Amino acid sequence: MIRSYIIIALRSFKKNVGTSLINLFGLSIAFALFILLFLYINSELSTDKHIDNIDNIYSLHDKNNHSIFTNAMFAKFMYGRYPEIKRTCTSFVWDAPFYRKDGHSVHFDHYGAVDSTYFRMFKNKAILGSLENALDEANGLVLTESAAKALFNDQNPIGKVVMMHNKYNFIVNAVIPDIPENSFYQADCFLALKSFLTISKGLVTNPGNWSLTTFVELEENSDIKSLEEKISKDLLKEFGRETNFGLIPYADLYFSDVHIPEEFEHGNKQFVFLFIGIALFIIIIACINYINLTTAKAASRAREVGIRKVVGAHKRKLIFQFLTESIILIYISLIIGFLLAELFIGEFNALAETNFRVKLFYTFPYNIYFLSAALGLGLISGLYPAFALTSFKTIEVIKGKISKSRKGLVTRKVLMIFQFVISMVMIAGSIVVFLQIDYVKHTNIGFNKENVIRLKTNEERAFENAQSFKSDLLAIPGVEKVSFCYAVPGEVGHGMAGEVNGEKIKMRCLEIDPDFADVMELEFVSGRNFSKEDKSDYQRSYLLNEAAIKKYGWEDPYSIKFWGGFRLVGIVKDFNFESLHLPIKPLYMPFWGDLDNIAIRINPINQKAIIEQIENVWENRYPEIPFSYNFLNEIIDQQYKDEEQLSKVITYFSIFALIIACMGLLGLTSYMIQQRYLEIGIRRIHGGDVSSIVKMLTFQFIKWVILAFIISVPLSYYALETWLQNNFISHVELKWWIFVISGLFVIIISLLTVIVQSIRAATINPIEALRYE
């Protein structure tokens, strides 16, 4: 029985080869696009699933400040105090160069400084060495497999010495597998946090330093709410810092909106939902094509249905036959879709900056998911055509009296309108995302980000120890200004806390020197810059931004002193030291600290030669550290990388969605015009010209595309305005022309599709048209 169904299905495909190819091609492209998008969706939704006990791991959460930044002493204080807490672990993530004894070095973008409990909490496994006591000593080091290969090639690194900054010695005690790419916590290596008692003691002993993260592993079925209340009360009593502490599940951190260290990976759930929507809509558009073309062809298969009914075929078996055809088409399309996905995975990875492999979906359980989903899709998309094709009355069919269902026509038009509404919304979305990215790159952010490069010296107290290096840089023709700072805008990651007249205050903190304001071209609202001549400003003075004055309402801010007598000397105009996703926060800028970053403003002319000379000066000063620099505008633009990728993906996929929709329109118009050949022939015989017939045929379809445009405008406006309001403090306005362009683009493509078919029909020999009927 099944065999006969398959044979009949293949004969039907062969008989209606044009319609079958349109369906096959549209579904295959849709599946390929769905597979590529689902690789991204699956990666995002499976973040950290490799951690066995993830449900019991939490991060200490400062609810008042909506962040996970904590002090290094909290973990030790909590451990053993509460029966609910099984383990605690403090973590700090940064970047640094690591050296072998022979001078070979590798710069790791992420190293994790962690307590010795880290590997017991996250249950990593060692490839080489042992994790049991790997970080018990201050000089303990654990490398990932890639880091070990980069440093030691194929040599066994266990027991070998590695130097951070070519200064601090560590011994490799273990090698672990690479951290999965879709992990919240990414690191190339792990070193013992207690090593910072030597490297930077204040990081782990200063009660005012809140730049670390505290993780806790709880016992099963712990009462979270009760534990949070105890932790908040006890931390306030012990450390005197009033805040409301909570515990946020580690599994929630990747998609959370809490303030996290910038070195951690962070996902965007809106993007995931959007990509799910795009993937589903593309499949729906292709299925609509199948339904429309199959039901439009109903009349051509009516006689087949009638004869089979006469010879005893039951309606149930006929429905099963047409569902079989649908399922076969879906499975063939799925196979071709996988082949196309394999063909274009390289381009997709380049577009989305990922490293996905389609072969992931060949393994269990993904292969079962796809096969089951394809079966379900075949049944769903085939049900309506199956019932439509088996609903004809047998006697009327045999006599050739096949009435055209008005209900069927309306259904096809509604489905076609839906296709084009989705296409227009996606195109409008791609335009708006592109405009917003262009806006954030070129809007006035309160400082001049152009022609500034940033170097990282990794030198302690660089401002004090590297003034001769600064003089050498300024001697280079084309180097205009040089400043030492702790970070640059776009990378301001830590803060300060204090008390003014009994009021608790908290601000972001950026340590700078007197030249920073000149390099960034900041504007002063009042007061002055740090003095280069008066040494008393160093380690005794600070600047504030306007947002700090506004938030705390200080009438005489110059009388306020912080941190043992630091005095305010100037107030700068607000500037966006973070992205335009966020409002401008209070910023505290003291003249002190390590200041190990160097910001250099260079002439825009012949920058390549200027940078080459800077490299020469660098190599004379730091011969052991590879020269590396970043342009400030690139650092700023990196904050909008997700939106840039979103723009590219939406643009490409909306174009493909439109192509699939137009393929359906091509098949539908071809068939519907074919049904009017007799009418066209009669009109031609009675003097109808080609242009009038083309207009008549074209209007029958384009009016529904125009209706789709009318429906798409309010939908697009609402969706895009909501996205802009929720994600950007400052954003573009939604102009009318955005929607007109998206509508015109779809209408013109659709018009060309229909006109080609209409001209071919209108220019046919009238005699041939009459013979056709």
The pLDDT of residue 457 is: 84
Lowest pLDDT segment from 41-55, 123-137, 289-303, 605-619 = 289-303
> Which residues are CB-neighbours of 487 under 8 A, at least 6 positions away?
493, 510, 597
The pLDDT of residue 292 is: 77
Query: Is the model's pLDDT at 391 over the cut of 70?
Result: no
Name the amino acid, one letter, at 670: S
The pLDDT of residue 420 is: 87
Of the pLDDT bands very low, low, confident and very high (cuts 50, 70, 90), residue 383 is confident
Which tens digits make up the pLDDT trace of 715-726? 999 999 998 888
The pLDDT of residue 576 is: 92
Of the pLDDT bands very low, low, confident and very high (cuts 50, 70, 90), residue 542 is very high
What DSSP element (H or E) covers 249? strand 245-249
Q: What percent of the chain has pLDDT over 90?
A: 40
Query: Is the model's pLDDT at 262 over the cut of 80?
Result: no
Region 150-154 average pLDDT? 91
Query: Is the model's pLDDT at 514 over the cut of 90?
Result: yes
Query: Is the model's pLDDT at 771 over the cut of 60?
Result: no
Q: Beta strand pairing status for 128-129 and 105-114?
A: unpaired
Of the pLDDT bands very low, low, confident and very high (cuts 50, 70, 90), residue 379 is confident
Which tens digits make up the pLDDT trace of 307-353? 565 555 566 777 777 788 888 889 999 999 999 999 999 999 988 88
Backbone torsions φ then ψ of 318, nearest 5 degrees: -65, -40
Contacts 24+ apart (CB under 8 A), 706-709: 706/747, 707/417, 708/416, 708/417, 708/418, 708/419, 708/420, 708/421, 708/424, 708/746, 709/420, 709/424, 709/743, 709/746, 709/747
| Cβ neighbours around 577 below 10 Å, total | 24
Question: Three-state SS across 465-514?
Answer: HCHHHHHHHHCCCCEEEEEEECCCCCCCCEEEEEEECCEEEEEEECCECC
Of 357, 343, 337, nearest in space to 34 by CA: 337
SS3 content of the chain, % helix, strand, coil (to 5): 55, 15, 30
Region 374-394 average pLDDT? 75
The pLDDT of residue 310 is: 58
Query: Is the model's pLDDT at 294 over the cut of 80?
Result: no
The number of helices, as runs of H, and strands, as runs of E, in the chain is: 25, 21
Q: What is the mean pLDDT of the chain?
A: 85
Which tens digits make up the pLDDT trace of 613-638? 999 999 998 887 788 899 999 989 88
Query: Is the model's pLDDT at 396 over the cut of 60?
Result: no
Which tens digits make up the pLDDT trace of 673-715? 766 666 777 776 766 676 777 777 777 778 888 899 999 999 9
Backbone torsions φ then ψ of 80, nearest 5 degrees: 85, -10
Which tens digits make up the pLDDT trace of 438-490? 888 888 889 999 999 999 887 777 888 888 999 999 999 999 999 999 889 98
The pLDDT of residue 409 is: 63
The sign one gets for the Cα dihedral 166, 170, 175, 176 is negative
Region 62-83 average pLDDT? 88
The pLDDT of residue 625 is: 78
Q: Tokens representing 96?
A: 């640094």
Q: Tokens representing 290?
A: 């199948």
Question: Three-state SS across 553-580?
Answer: CCCCHHHCEECCCEEEEEEECCCCCCCC
Region 247-262 average pLDDT? 88
Q: Beta strand pairing status for 168-176 and 128-129?
A: antiparallel
| Cβ neighbours around 136 below 10 Å, total | 12
Which tens digits make up the pLDDT trace of 516-531? 999 999 999 999 999 8
Which tens digits make up the pLDDT trace of 546-571? 999 999 988 888 888 876 678 899 99
CA–CA dist 41, 63 (Å, integer)? 29
Q: Which residue do the tokens 């009949």 mark?
A: 8
Of the pLDDT bands very low, low, confident and very high (cuts 50, 70, 90), residue 573 is very high
Of the pLDDT bands very low, low, confident and very high (cuts 50, 70, 90), residue 3 is low
Of 652, 674, 30, nearest in space to 290 by CA: 30
Q: Which residue do the tokens 């099944």 mark?
A: 2
pTM of the model: 0.81
The pLDDT of residue 169 is: 94
The pLDDT of residue 5 is: 56
Query: Is the model's pLDDT at 398 over the cut of 60?
Result: no
Query: Is the model's pLDDT at 388 over the cut of 70?
Result: no
Which tens digits make up the pLDDT trace of 628-673? 899 999 989 888 888 888 888 888 888 888 888 888 777 777 666 7
CA–CA dist 519, 233 (Å, integer)? 45
